[in-house]
Amino acid sequence: MGEGLEIYPFLGSYLLAEAVDSVGADLVLHGHAHGGSEKGTTAGGVPVRKVAQPVIADAYNLYCLGGGDEPPACEPLG
């Protein structure tokens, strides 16, 4: 499930993903579209999270980043 094919030209660009991969980001957040899945990755393995409210189905989400081999600095709410 995702966005309709007719709006693909208006969505994200591989150029942004290449820029993210080249600088080594820890996480990419975006909310430019309303359908699709919450989790993805760039070609270089950077996690991407779609934060549009219809996708996450909540007012907000908490994303925890680990420090290399260390566990995340926060605990997910459950």
pTM for the whole structure: 0.69
Domain count, the chain: 1
pLDDT over 80 at 61, yes or no: yes
DSSP-H helix ranges across the chain: 14-23, 53-56
Give the domain extent around 14: 1-78
Query: How is residue 7 annotated by DSSP?
Result: G
pLDDT value at position 22? 94
Burial class (CB in 10 A: 0-12, 13-18, 19+), 50: buried
Query: How is residue 39 annotated by DSSP?
Result: E
pLDDT over 50 at 70, yes or no: yes
**For the segment 4-57, what is each residue's pLDDT rounded down to a tens digit?**
777 776 666 778 888 999 998 888 988 866 777 888 888 999 988 988 888 888
Burial class (CB in 10 A: 0-12, 13-18, 19+), 46: middle
